[in-house]
Structure 1
Amino acid sequence: MTSNIEVLHGNAAVEAASDADFPGATNPRNYQITESLMDKAMTLMEDAFRGKWGAAQRLAEAFATSDFTLAAFAAIDTEMQRQYDELPSTWRGYTDVTTVNDFRPKRLLDKWRNTVGFDLVPELTEYPAEDARGHALNEIAVAKFGRRFAISWESWINNEAIQEFEDLPGVIARQARETEAINAVSNLIAADRNGVNTAFFKAGNGNAPTALPLTLDNLDGVLDLMAARKSKISGRTVAAPPLQVVVPQTLKRTIERILAVRTIKKTTTSGSDSTEFEYDNYVNVDYVVDPMLDYWNTGSKAAGTWFVVPKPKTARPALWAAYLRGHEQPDIRVKSSASQRVGGGDVSPLEGSFEIDDIQYRGRHIVGHQNGDPTFTYASNGS
C-alpha cells in the first residue's frame, strides 16, 4: 500500500509546521497530505456531523488507518485556523503588537527626541551633540498557554463524540482569541483582576488612577491634560499622539452618547443674573469597546472604569502584546496512542489510550504583554 503522507525533515519541516513534533503527540502541520485524502476526510466528517445515515460508522472505520487520521486532523486544524482568523481581535484596536524569537525577554526601547530642527553652527565651531534624546527601556516576553481535552472511547463507540469533533475547531479558535484578549487587557487591569493596573498607572508615571466618571466634561478635561503633557527630559510640551478611549461594554452607550452630542448648552450665573449660551461639542476622539474588560476586571468599580491611551502604531506606544515568531496561530494536536496491537501495527489515537481508553487532544497558544510609555495614558475607576 502506498502512503499518501510524506514525512518532512530539516528545513522543509520547519517551513511546513508551526513546530517539530514531540514524543507522544502528532501535529498535522508536519505532514504533506494529498488533496484527495483531505477531501475524503472532510466529506466523511461533514456527513457524520450532519447525521447522514451510516456516516458515523464509515468515519470510525476510516479512522482505523493512520493516513486518514492525520488527514482528518489536518482538516480540523485548517478549519480551526480559518475560524481563528475570522474571530474579532478587539484588543488590537488599542494595543501595539511585536514578535519575539524565543521565550527570553525582548527589549522594548522606546526612543523620543525633544529638539526640533538643527542648531545654528557658528563658523569654526563644533556641531552640537544631540543630548536631548531619551528612551524608556522595557522588556516583553511570551508564555505558553493551553488546555487538554479528552473524549472517552465509549462515547466514540456510541457516536456521541461526533459533536465534540465538530465543535473542536471552534473551541480551540475561540479560546485562543480569548487568551489574546486576556493577555492584552492585563496591561490595563491588575494581576489580581481587582481594578486598574496600579503597577503601571501610578503617581511615579504621572498617570495615577482618578475617580472621575465618564462624562463629556471629564473626557474633555483629560484630553486637555494630555495636550499639556511635558517631556521628562526637556520639560517642554510634547505633541500628543492620536488618542482613544477604551471602555468596557457597560460604558458603550455612555461613550456613544458623549460623542453624539453636537451642541452644548450652559448657563452662567452672576448674582441674580443668569446667561444661557451654546457652543459646539469639539470632543472628537475614537473609542474601543472591549467586552473582555467586563469579564476580566472583577473589582467593585469595574463597570465605570475607563482609559485613554495612544492609538497603535503611533508615537509613544503604551500597551504591547507579543507573539512567538513562527507560532502566531494556535496549535492543535492529538495524543498518539503509544501502543500496538498484539499482532503488530500501530493503534489509532481514536481507539483510546493504553491506560484509560481516552482520546486526548490539546490546544496551545503563545503570547505575552508589557506596558510601554506612560506619558499619554489615563485611567479612572469611575467613582
Structure 2
Amino acid sequence: MTTSMLDAGLGTLGQLETFQAGTEGAATNAIFGGDGTLLTGNRRQRRQESAQYKRNLIQLTRLYRGTIEGDRRATVAFQEAMSRADFTNLFGDIIDRQLLAAYQTRPVQWPSYAKRGRVRDFRTVKRFTLDGGEGVLNQVKELAPYKVRSVSDAAYEYAVAKYGDQIAVSWETMVNDDLDALTELPTRLGNAARRTEEKFAAQLFSGSGGPNSTFFSNANRNQINASVTGAGTPTNPALTVQGLQYAMQTLGQQKDTDGGPIYVEGVTLVVPPALEVAANNIVNATEILAATGGGPGTGNDQLRVANWMRNRVSVVVNPWLPIVNTTNGNSAWYVFANPNVGRPAMELGFLIGHETPELWVKSPNAMRVGGGPVAPEEGDFEHDAIQYRVRMVVGGTLMDPKSAVVSNGTGA
C-alpha cells in the first residue's frame, strides 16, 4: 500500500468511524459529500438506509483500521473481504460514478422545407395537381369565337409505412440501476423516432451519390449551371453570396405550364454542418458589396446594398446530409420554396390519429397473490422482463421540382 493510499485510507476511516458513534445520517453526508458523488434515487436511498448496508460498512471499517495499524490478522480478513462481491460493490459506491448525458438531438426541422400531409390508412394516396388555364388571355375580335384553352392534371403518390423498435431489460437490471439510467429508455426511443423522420426527409432529395439526379436535373431546370440560367453562370458553385444569387435566379426563372412566372414568397436554405458558418454569415450580413449588374465586380463598378436576403432566406442546418450523401454531402446545398405557399417540393405524410411517435410499455401479465396491481417495472410473469416500444408511421414523396434548386458545391 502506497503512502498516498494510506493517507486517503486514514481520511476515509475518520469518516467511517462516525457510524460507530451513532450519527449515521451525518456519516452518509461525510462519506459521499467530498470527492465522491452521492447519486440520488429511490433505490439507492433505500439501500443506503438499510441496516444491513450500514452493518457491512462498520465491519469493513474495523478491518480497515486493523490493517492500517499493522494487525496481520485484520489484514488477512480485510483482503478476504475485499474479494467478496458485496464489499466490492460497497466501495464502488464511494468512487465517483456518474451517468453521462445523452447526445443532444435537434428538433425536427423538415417542416421548414417539406409539406406535412395526413393520410387515413396504409394504402397508396395520391396528390393531384391541375395545370393550365392561367395564361394571358387572348384578344377576341368582333364576332370571332373564343379560343379554347386546355388544362391538364397530374398526380404524385406514396404510402406510409410503420417503423419501430423495442428495448427489453430484465427486472434484475432495473433493480441494479442505481444511476437511474434506464429511466431514459422511453426518451431514447422517442429521439430515435425523431431521427427517423429527419433521415427519411433527407433521403427523399439526397442519396449516397449526391442530390437526387431524377428530381434535380437540367430537364427540370433546377440545377445551377449555364444551360439553365444562361452564359456566365458557373456550374455547381460553392455557397457564397454570388452562389446564392444564382440559386435565386434559377428559382425565379421557373415558369408554369402556361409560360407564366411562379412567385416565390420565401425560401429555406438547407445546408450540412460544414456550411453552417458560411450560410449564416451570408444571411446575417448587414451589407453586401455587389457589382452594378449583380456580379462580382471590382473597382468603381460596385454597390453597397443592405442585405435583402435576410428577409427572404432562412437557414436550416441538416446534419443528416453528409451521412446520407457520402459523395459531396459536405459541400452540396439546397434552396426550397416555402412549402406552405403554393406547390411544395416534397411532402411527408402521417397516419391520422397516429401523427406523432407512440411510446409503449408492456403491461405485466401477472398479479400478486391476494390481489393488487403489478407495476410494469416489476416485469412479466414468465421472465421478469420489462419491455418498452416505440411506433411511428410516416411516408412521403418528392413533388414539384420547380420549387427547389440545388448545387453540389463542387464547381463541376
Does TM, normalized by the shorter one, top 0.5?
yes
1:288 to 309, 315, 319: 315
State the alpha-carbon separation in 1 of the partners of residues 213 and 383 from structure 2. 47
Using the TM superposition, give the Cα deviation of residue 140 of structure 1 relative to its aligned residue in structure 2, in angstroms.
2.5
Separation (CA, whole Å) in 2 of partners of 1:134 and 1:247: 35
In the TM superposition, 1:307-326 aligns within 5 A as: 307-326=334-353
Q: Tell me which residue corresponds to 1:380.
A: 407
Higher relative contact order (CA 8 A, sep 6+): 1
Instruction: From 42, 47, 54, give the equivalent of 2:46.
Output: 54
Identity of aligned residues (%): 30
Q: Is the 8 A contact 1:97 1:321 kept in 2?
A: yes
Aligned with 1:155 (options 150, 173, 194): 173
Counterpart Cα distance in 1 of 2:46 and 2:190: 29
Q: What do the CA deviations read for 1:99-143 (whole angstroms, capped 9, x no partner)?
A: 000111111113344525766667777665551x34441112211
Q: CA separation of 1:280/1:319 partners in 2, compared to 1, >3 Å: closer, same or farther? A: farther
Contact kept, 8 Å, 2:44 with 2:178, in 1: the verdict is no
* Counterpart amino acid of residue 212 in structure 1: P
**Distance in 2 between residues matched to 1:189 and 1:110, nearest whole Å:** 24
Which has more radius of gyration? 2
Task: Please tell me whether residue 96 in structure 1 is matched to residue 109 in structure 2.
Answer: no
SS in 2 for 1:186: helix
- Please name the residue that 2:250 is paired with: 225
Q: Which of 150, 161, 168 is matched with 2:185 structurally? A: 168
* 2:201 is aligned with 1:184: yes
Structure-2 change in CA distance of 1:110 and 1:310 (3 Å): farther
Cα separation, partners in 2 of 1:309 and 1:265, compared to 1, 3 Å: closer
- Return the alpha-carbon distance in structure 2 between the equivalents of residues 221 and 185 of structure 1: 23
Letter in 2 for 1:364: R
- Matched residue of 1:258: which SS? helix
- Determine which structure has the larger strand proportion and give its number: 1
- Segments of structure 1 that go 5 or more residues without pairing to the other structure are 1-47, 58-85, 269-273
With the length of structure 2 as denominator, give the TM-score of the two structures.
Answer: 0.62
Q: Give how far 1:199 is off.
A: 3.2
Distance apart, 1:336 and its partner CA:
3.9
**Matching of residues 156-305 of structure 1 within 5 Å:** 156-160=174-178, 162-165=180-183, 167-190=184-207, 193-208=208-223, 211-231=236-256, 233-259=257-283, 260=285, 262-264=287-289, 275-281=299-305, 284=309, 285-294=312-321, 296-305=323-332
Distance 1:51 1:341, change over 3 A: closer
TM-score, structure 1 length as denominator? 0.66
Per-residue displacement from partner, 1:57-88 (whole Å, max 9, x unpaired)?
9xxxxxxxxxxxxxxxxxxxxxxxxxxxx972
Distance change (3 Å), C-alpha of 1:134 and 1:220? farther
Q: Is the Cα–Cα contact under 8 Å of residues 103 and 142 in structure 1 kept in the other structure?
A: yes
CA drift at 1:323: 0.8
Q: Which amino acid aligns with 1:184?
A: A
Residues 208 and 277 of structure 1: CA distance in aligned 2, closer, same or farther (over 3 Å): closer
The two structures, once aligned, show a CA RMSD in angstroms of 3.6
Q: Summarize the Cα distance change of 1:159–1:237 in structure 2 as closer, same or farther, 3 Å threshold.
A: closer
State the AA in 2 paired with 1:93.
S
